[in-house]
Structure 1
């Protein structure tokens, strides 16, 4: 957090002290409040989650930012909490998969709502990963009795170039 925002942070007891430019200190305060809020709802935060929260705060509209004498906007706080707490359990070992963007959240919501969802997008954006996580979740919660994986029939030497 200190490197990303260019501030200095120190702790004394249960209090955090922040020094730096006002805008960066405000963002750091919001960052700490968001992480505390997410953690107090039972989500175990890891370093990747911290990077995600910092990026989400960067992407937040200006009217969601806090000033030195105001508190965190409840709507933006609720939406970040929603990302982390709308997780997909994928095993009995408390492993969860969490959407990392608004688009991924919409994709998961669509999978929950509709029988068939078509995801189109660039490689590496999590389409197959999230679809399989949702399928495993449905299997574990007995919403389905089996998962059937299908692949296209491609003739010898023919390249499809994508996964339909």
Structure 2
């Protein structure tokens, strides 16, 4: 299941990073012309802020685990992105853009699965980061044995 969560997390991160960077870098009019008609309802600063939230959320899904810092951040990033998609679905519903809502709901569901997995049975802890980062360590607490897959270096 941990590998499945990583695959879902990677897909989410790529999708939100691409969408966020597009909203940050392109003018609102160009976004609206490319099929994001909702952008016309928001000031340019708000569209860029939404893009920044999406891009930062994408980074928050991946970087903490890759760098071995802030183990709770991927979970909170997933929850934030789920909330963002809930808001996006509400905007599309209000604008009667029914075709866009399923995409929002799928992304919301995937983000919720990541949040559930990282809050619950597949939570990161400091020992996970040591293992993932390849650093050597010589302690393993009994309480962590269910969350850590150990690949000992050759000298053990």
Which protein has the bigger helix share? 2
Which protein has the bigger strand share? 1
TM-score of the superposition, structure 1-length normalised?
0.23
TM-score of the superposition, structure 2-length normalised?
0.24
Larger Rg over CA atoms: 1
Structure with the larger RCO, 1 or 2 (CA within 8 Å, 6+ apart): 2
